[in-house]
Structure 1
Amino acid sequence: MPTKVLIVDYSWSGTTAKMATALQRVTGATRITLTVPAGTFPNDMYATADVASQQLASGDLPKLTNALPDLTQVDTILVGGPVWSAQVATPVRSFLQQLASFTGTVAPFYTDAGTPGSYEDDFASLIPQASVVAGIGMTAGDLSTADQQLTTWWANFK
């Protein structure tokens, strides 16, 4: 079992935050919620997708307003975010860029509308130096049984 686990998550609509809260209950891990400056994304899902596409095309990812904790004391990071066009959401990408020297275990957890596409492959490609293990995805409809699903995933993870 990992000696120190950290949960880091970004949630645009609140769905991933609910999953992260359940994961924190299951694991007992410390949790950090990633934030971006107000106004970075509009309230409309489709307009947010357009902004994210522009960020990916330009390479100008959103700035995070959180400082990273000391990761030398962390063995495993559980990273959560929404699936945006079958890819890792741009705020989560910003965080993953900051993991350039992290060589521990990283696992994605994510929320989607039922079509995660190649999300986990995209996630793993962003941190090739880390040991990325199979993650877990859920839709908003799955959240009613999140604790049960996450408990099973976490038991197999350890």
Structure 2
Amino acid sequence: MTKRLIVTYSWSGNTAKMATALQQVTGADQVMLTVAADTFSTDMYATSDIANQQLASGKLPALTNSLPDLRQYDTILVGGPVWSAKVATPVRRFLAQLGDFRGIMLPFYTDAGTPGSYEADFEKLLPGSVTFKAGIGLSGSQLAKANTILQTWWQKEN
């Protein structure tokens, strides 16, 4: 039996809504990534500037929660917001901590209009032991129909 995990970082709550809908569709276990409360601004543009500084310096934010043993999962769905067409820095931190996970990984993400090269950026962050599968992104306006959209996508992927 395939064991699945949803790992999510949500800055505004949109990706968390998507993760909840995805959990209903997949039946996967779920864990939310957290960072210290003062890591990011409540302003989207200020947060983008902070994330770009983190990327430039290589100092990604520390995750403040513990994670399950990833080796017990066959598939991990990793969700986060799109920041400047890139993977959000807390998600990047998680991907840097994959250790010896050797399963399938699919990204899911929320964006404010266009994901740009999000999936290509995500795939580049994975170690060679991970099998990348194309993911799915939703804009905030699509979240009301998330269950239907995700059900259709998941049926195609599995």
Normalising by the smaller structure, the TM-score range is over 0.9
Counterpart of 1:107 in structure 2 is: 106
Aligned residues: 157
1:128 Cα offset (Å): 3.5
Counterpart of 1:61 in structure 2 is: 60
Unaligned runs of 5+ in 2: none
SS in 2 for 1:31: strand
Equivalent residues in 2 for 1:1-158, closer than 5 Å: 3-129=2-128, 130-158=130-158
Give the partner amino acid of 2:147.
Answer: D
- 2:54, 2:71 → 1: CA distance? 30
| Cα root mean square deviation, aligned | 0.9
Give the partner amino acid of 2:27.
Answer: G
Q: Structure 1 runs of 4+ off > 4 angstroms?
A: none
TM-score by length of 1: 0.97
1:117 Cα offset (Å): 0.5
- 1:58, 1:97 → 2: CA distance? 15
TM-score by length of 2: 0.97
1:68 Cα offset (Å): 1.7
SS in 2 for 1:117: coil
SS in 1 for 2:79: strand
Note if contact 1:40-1:62 (Cα within 8 Å) is conserved in structure 2. yes
- 2:11, 2:71 → 1: CA distance? 28
Note if contact 2:71-2:102 (Cα within 8 Å) is conserved in structure 1. no
Deviations 1:39-96 (A, max 9, x none): 0001111110110000000000000011121112100000000000000000000000
Note if contact 1:100-1:127 (Cα within 8 Å) is conserved in structure 2. no
1:20 Cα offset (Å): 0.4
Unaligned runs of 5+ in 1: none
Give the partner amino acid of 1:152.
Answer: T
